[in-house]
Structure 1
Amino acid sequence: MASSGMDTNLIPLFPLDTVLFPDGYLPLQIFEVRYLDMIKRAVAAGTGFGVVTLVQGTEVRLPERAETLAAIGTLAVIGASATPMAGLMQIQCSGGARFRVVSSERLKTGLWMAEVAPIAADQIVPVPDELEDVADALGNLIRTLQDEEVPSAEMPLQAPFRLDECGWVANRWAELLPLSTDEKLRLLVLDNPLLRLELIQDALHERGVL
């Protein structure tokens, strides 16, 4: 894989039928050999891996199905791991920095490696008054889950709850709402957290949440 000459990193990829946003929560059960080896190395080295959305293909490798990956992804940071039995790992990850895939290659083992260019983190933009209802609705959802005593490992949103930041609120709703993969990827790539939150407000109105 040739270097592009820009500021890039070489990382392993984990293609999934989901879109991981920065600060999102991602619990995974790993049983495929290609990913067991990758996760073991990542845990030992204290490094992460890239989560990219499968545009075509399946999470479990099938010889007759080609895999097409999205051109943007998010670094997954492993927070906890366990091996309840041989051939199975359980990990809890959080979303880190976004990145663009510059080039990618699938190895003989089936593992994808990619040269990626990091995308700058969202600027911290306070939630304006006209979008406060979006943050309030998310806060109500968090309180409901807490009142129901949902275990921390099963909470779809993890503390700290930054309900005063456009990017954090927009990203959490983007994960929770039943949006299409294309819609989620368009939100992920936006570099304006205020615009992202405005689009989320529209989606909440369309679904009668607000």
Structure 2
Amino acid sequence: MTSIPLFPLNTVLYPDGYLPLQIFEVRYLDMIRKCIMGEQPFGVVQLLDGTEVRKPGQHETLAPVGTLARVIEWAAPLSGLLQIKCMGTQRFRIVHSEQLQHGLWMGQVEMLPSDKVIAIPQEQQNVADALGALIRTLQEQKIPVDQMPMQPPYRLDESGWVANRWCELLSLTPMQKQLLLSQDNPVLRLELVQDELSEHGLLEG
């Protein structure tokens, strides 16, 4: 088991996901600075109850599964403000968590297996095609790479990568996002994403 600092957010980070953040709370400024200096990751977990910015007397409930985040770029434009860009790496399950006196959460976590590299099944090829079409549209609109919701390399032939990018893009409930993040089989995750896309009329064929 590993002990890591946790960053509860109203979003879910998936492996290979891109997450830009603005940090201004003291508890997270210290944490992120230490992660940058030590080249260490931190854990992004979904906030099931409570708000991202700490309030007196607030109770925060953390989701049981999260993803390690690695800082790939940072800037400090003002005193007391950090702008960071992170990439998701490996999923983990929280075994035990506690909130320290100054508000930072620490977690004892066990790492979950990385997705096996599995080609897109023919039945789900339309899911990958739709994501490829979206990426091309954004590129044609001259969206800068660092403002794209997904980062290269675009692994449109991998079930796990395609499923994870749709998990980030779709408007899903917190419970749905957690179920998808917790799903160890990337093809099954892709099938569940396909069901969501079909339900919203976002797939051809």
* TM-score interval, normalised by the smaller of the two chains: over 0.9
Q: Does 1:158 align with 2:143?
A: no
Q: CA deviation at 1:148?
A: 0.5
- Structure 1 segments (4+ residues) deviating >2 Å: none
TM-score, normalising length: structure 2: 0.98
Which position in structure 2 is the counterpart of 1:80?
Answer: 73
Read off the aligned partner of 1:31 and give its amino acid letter: F
Q: Match of 1:105, SS?
A: strand
Give me the whole-angstrom Cα distance separating, in 2, the residues matched to 1:90 and 1:161. 25
Q: CA deviation at 1:205?
A: 0.4
Q: Match of 1:116, SS?
A: strand
Give me the whole-angstrom Cα distance separating, in 2, the residues matched to 1:80 and 1:44. 12
Which position in structure 1 is the counterpart of 2:4?
Answer: 11
Q: Match of 1:77, SS?
A: strand
Unpaired runs of 5+ in structure 1?
Answer: 1-7
Q: CA deviation at 1:64?
A: 2.3
Give me the whole-angstrom Cα distance separating, in 1, the residues matched to 2:147 and 2:66. 23
Alignment counterpart, residue 47 of structure 1, candidates 12, 26, 40 = 40
Q: Does 1:205 align with 2:198?
A: yes
Q: Does 1:139 align with 2:132?
A: yes
1:47-88 superposed Cα distances (whole Å, 9 cap, x missing partner): 110000001000000112200100110000100000000000
1:135-154 superposed Cα distances (whole Å, 9 cap, x missing partner): 00000000000111111221
Provide the identity percentage.
58
Q: Match of 1:58, SS?
A: coil
Q: Match of 1:125, SS?
A: coil
Paired residues for 1:2-151 under 5 Å: 8-151=1-144
Count of paired positions? 203
> RMSD of the TM alignment (CA)?
0.5
1:105-128 superposed Cα distances (whole Å, 9 cap, x missing partner): 100110001100000001111001
TM-score, normalising length: structure 1: 0.96
Give me the whole-angstrom Cα distance separating, in 1, the residues matched to 2:97 and 2:196. 33
Read off the aligned partner of 2:102 and give its amino acid letter: T
Unpaired runs of 5+ in structure 2?
Answer: none
Alignment counterpart, residue 161 of structure 2, candidates 163, 168, 171 = 168
Give me the whole-angstrom Cα distance separating, in 1, the residues matched to 2:170 and 2:122. 22
Give me the whole-angstrom Cα distance separating, in 2, the residues matched to 1:58 and 1:97. 25
